Structure 1
Amino acid sequence: MEDQKNIIERYIQAYNKFDINGMIQFLHTDIEFENISGGETDTATKGIAAFKELAEASKQYFVERHQSVTSWKFEEDKVTVQIDYHGILAMDLPSGAKKGDAITMIGQSVFTFKDGLIVKIQDIS
């Protein structure tokens, strides 16, 4: 449990710093990532290379981003964290959000572990 918490905290610290290599050091080679928004999966990847490509592409959208964990729930090989998210856009988005706009969300991330590493991440908002 403490190992899982430490890995997640270090992963989020790397995420907040736009440190992609720092993030992937905690990921299993078979990492699966899903972003679920409004009950629909809008992004999914499998494998380190696909995850790294998505992470590199995603960081261009923000000049600043920060995830904070507000609660933890531990179950066997899964850890669910409640997340407060804040970001500042680096560019205009098709949704109508403009460069410099602040984006704030509350959501949760579910981390599944295998062999001491994160093998699946589901970001749900």
Structure 2
Amino acid sequence: MIGEEKKEMVRKYVDAYNSFNVNDMFKLLHDEILFRNISNGQVDTETKGILEFRELAEKSSRNFSSRKQTIINIATIDNQVEVQIDYEGILAVDLPNGLKSGDKLQLIGKSLFGFKEGKISLIEDYS
């Protein structure tokens, strides 16, 4: 895959994420997908394999009434795509950390996407 094909795959993934279309997200993912969420330098969530990631994605989609990732910048670095993301979401449920249904989350972050056999095999979200 060339850099532009990888970037297009990431754009399709973000579009599916924004529309809560878990099935379209998973069409783009390798069976051995590794996902990590890194917040303040610490890994707070990690899944290995498509089944673990699907469970997390479905649970996460139920937590929000709306969500949108906006790509601010996208670049190919070595075999990965790095994306600067502006994220906004509205909670649909109360969370244990004190956030309530209806609260708005906003953050700027970065995501790294790795590839294997023509599919996304790594997603690391940094915030």
Residue type of the partner of 2:82? T
Runs of 4+ displaced beyond 6 Å? none
Deviation at 1:73, TM superposition (A): 2.0
> Which residue, out of 21, 24, 37, partners 1:22?
24
Matched, 1:95 2:97: yes
Deviation at 1:10, TM superposition (A): 0.4
Residue type of the partner of 1:9? R
Flag structure 1 segments of 5+ consecutive residues without an equivalent: none
Q: TM-score, normalised by structure 1?
A: 0.97
Residue type of the partner of 2:25? M
Percent identity of equivalent pairs: 48
Q: Distance in 2 between matches of 1:60 and 1:29?
A: 23
Residue type of the partner of 1:83? I
Match of 2:41 in 1: 39
Deviation at 1:66, TM superposition (A): 0.3
Q: TM-score, normalised by structure 2?
A: 0.95
- Paired residues for 1:69-108 under 5 Å: 69-108=71-110
Flag structure 2 segments of 5+ consecutive residues without an equivalent: none
Q: Distance in 2 between matches of 1:93 and 1:28?
A: 30
Residue aligned with 1:83, SS? strand
Q: Distance in 2 between matches of 1:20 and 1:97?
A: 24
Residue type of the partner of 1:74? T
Residue type of the partner of 1:119? S
Deviation by residue 1:35-59 (Cα, 9 ceiling, x = unmatched): 0011110110111111111101111
Residue type of the partner of 1:46? K
Deviation at 1:75, TM superposition (A): 1.6
- Paired residues for 1:3-18 under 5 Å: 3-18=5-20
Q: Distance in 1 between matches of 2:78 and 2:115?
A: 9
Checking the alignment, whether the CA contact within 8 Å between 1:77 and 1:114 is kept in structure 2 is no
Residue aligned with 1:57, SS? helix
Residue type of the partner of 1:108? K
Match of 1:53 in 2: 55
Checking the alignment, whether the CA contact within 8 Å between 1:72 and 1:79 is kept in structure 2 is yes
Alignment: residue pair count: 125
